[in-house]
Amino acid sequence: MLDKIARSSKFLKRKSKLTPLVFLNIMFYAVENEFKSLSRIVRNAHMAHSLKIREQSIDERFSPSSVAFTKELIKETLSSQVFSDINSTEFRCSRELELRIQQPLRFMNP
């Protein structure tokens, strides 16, 4: 799914050392640790993924296609999570209704 979204957003055009998964991993780690320089991001990429990449290569990845890729990924993730929650809620509701229907009716004798 990740590569499909990356291709449709034109983030991934050909095979690269910096795969969509590695890019996301590096970026989220950089945000989490408040890395503010490309040199720190490059060092982290090398330490975490044994990826030898230049600062310029990372800088070039910050483009409209990377924004589109990230937005589409978030959209897909959120929509699948929402639908998953809705489906489980519907199942739970229908199961409760089924249990209520199966319970015997009791009448009070006067």
Torsional sign, CA 1, 65, 33, 58: positive
Q: How confident is the model at residue 93 (pLDDT cuts 50, 70, 90)?
A: low
Question: Sign of the C-alpha dihedral, residues 11, 12, 18, 23?
Answer: positive
pLDDT for res 50: 92
Q: Is residue 79 situated within a structural domain? A: yes
d(CA 30, CA 58): 12
Residue 6 predicted with pLDDT over 70: yes
pTM of this prediction exceeds 0.95 = no
| Cα–Cα dist 86/79, whole Å | 10
Distance, in Å, from the CA atom of 45 to the CA atom of 96, rounded to the nearest integer, reads: 50
Based on the structure, what is the number of domains in the chain?
1
In a domain, 82, yes or no: yes
Give Cα 66 to chain centroid, integer Å.
14
pLDDT at 56 over 90: yes
Would you say residue 109 lies in a domain?
no
Task: Show the domain range for 12.
Answer: 2-102
Question: pLDDT digit string (tens) for 68-85?
Answer: 999 998 888 888 776 655
Instruction: Tell me which range, 10-14, 78-82, 84-88, is most confidently predicted by mean pLDDT.
Output: 10-14
DSSP 8-state symbol, 25: H
Is 32 inside any structural domain?
yes
